[in-house]
Amino acid sequence: MDEATIRTWMTETASSIRAERDHLVQLDAAIGDGDHGINMTRGFEAVVLAFSTEDGGSPGQLMTLAGKTLISAVGGASGPLWGSALRRAGRTLGDKPTFEAEQLVVAMEAALAAVQDLGQAKPGDKTMVDALAPAVGALREGVAAGQPLQSAVQAARSAAEEGMRATVPMQARKGRASYLGERSIGHQDPGATSAVLILKALERTLAAGG
């Protein structure tokens, strides 16, 4: 994996979030304030724009740039959370021109840690962590077991989807949905949903040979 992997991953993310914008808005309107799809679309479009004026750059530098761009373009909770996640993941990749599966695991672990440090959410709180944590676990196990990267990422995406669906019966304990108390039960968490979209974009990127 190299610079092109990160570029394709972020471009794929931007287009699938744009395509799912209204769905994310709908999910958020049920238990939040209905801006998640709008904010995420604005953020990843800003990332694509930032990449277009950035020639070259190592995978780590691009990832860090993506994180910084999200922090400065999104606002809300998703901006600082995804922004810190990508920024910290990018820093673990450093300045090397390529990276391997093991480094992807370290980067994803760093991303999860950044989200939990800033947001203080644990699994079961009905947040993006419910999709991200099992995904990082599945990726780590797959890579440690010597699976080809593509199948490890596939397993990560599948674990994220399962985690996303598991948010439906949960009562939210973090973020704006927590204000609803029991009324948050029965709705899928929008943050967990966009986490799945980002992992799907990575899966497609690798399948395309990026």
Site residues (vs other proteins, CB under 8 A): 25, 29, 32-35, 38-39, 42, 71-81, 118-119, 171-176, 178-181, 183
Residues in a beta bridge with 98: 2
Interatomic CA distance for residues 158 and 36, integer angstroms: 22
Residue nearer to other proteins on the CB measure, 30 or 149: 30
Residue nearer to other proteins on the CB measure, 169 or 179: 179
Residue nearer to other proteins on the CB measure, 72 or 98: 72
Residue nearer to other proteins on the CB measure, 7 or 42: 42
Interatomic CA distance for residues 163 and 123, integer angstroms: 9
Interatomic CA distance for residues 119 and 82, integer angstroms: 11
Q: How far is the CB of 161 from other proteins (least distance, A)?
A: 24
Q: How far is the CB of 135 from other proteins (least distance, A)?
A: 22
Beta carbons of 21 and 29 less than 8 angstroms apart:
no
Beta carbons of 37 and 28 less than 8 angstroms apart:
yes
Q: How far is the CB of 91 from other proteins (least distance, A)?
A: 16
Q: How far is the CB of 41 from other proteins (least distance, A)?
A: 10
Q: CA nearest 118: which of 70, 93, 83?
A: 83
